[in-house]
Amino acid sequence: MPTGPQIILTLKVLVVAVSVLFAAAIVAIAFGRKKLHGRLNTAFFILTMTTVVGFELLLRFFVDVSATFSEEARQALRIHLCFAIPSAVLLPVMILSGARHWKKLHVTCGLLFTLVWIGTFVTGVFFLPHDG
């Protein structure tokens, strides 16, 4: 069974990896590459939701959170979830509105998503303790 620090380090790596995809999607749309933007967003959506579901299953069914994580780590995870949960809720709206070409909704949700994703990134990468 993975340790708390191993789980958190894995989470950090995944947050950074999908953030690179998100940044690439933003750059693609800034340069008018709508098709590339859509493909990058689709990859971002699939990888991010897979990560969310995978970590949820791991933490709900396979790991004793109170025994695996320190109080400091649990508090940091709670703060991280304040950003990660709204991000996960907005993602399906974003992917659907982009696929349906509902530009106003897509852009509005995109701006909101960017704000909560910045919080997800900062709390996930810099706040979560991954040392023993």
Structural tokens at position 81: 């979830």
The total number of structural domains in the chain stands at 1
What's the CA gap between 100 and 117, in Å, rounded?
23
Record the pTM: 0.90
Residue 41, domain extent: 4-127
Q: What is the mean pLDDT of residues 16-38?
A: 97
User: Within a domain: residue 132?
Assistant: no
Q: What is the mean pLDDT of residues 26-39?
A: 97
User: Within a domain: residue 38?
Assistant: yes
User: Within a domain: residue 16?
Assistant: yes
Q: What is the mean pLDDT of residues 49-65?
A: 91
User: Within a domain: residue 66?
Assistant: yes
User: Within a domain: residue 92?
Assistant: yes
pLDDT digits (tens, 9 = 90+) for 61-82: 998 888 899 899 999 999 999 9
CA dist 60 to 5, 11, 21, 73, Å?
17, 16, 28, 16
User: Within a domain: residue 77?
Assistant: yes
User: Within a domain: residue 98?
Assistant: yes
User: How confident is residue 1, by pLDDT bands cut at 50, 70 and 90?
Assistant: confident
Q: What is the mean pLDDT of residues 1-7?
A: 88
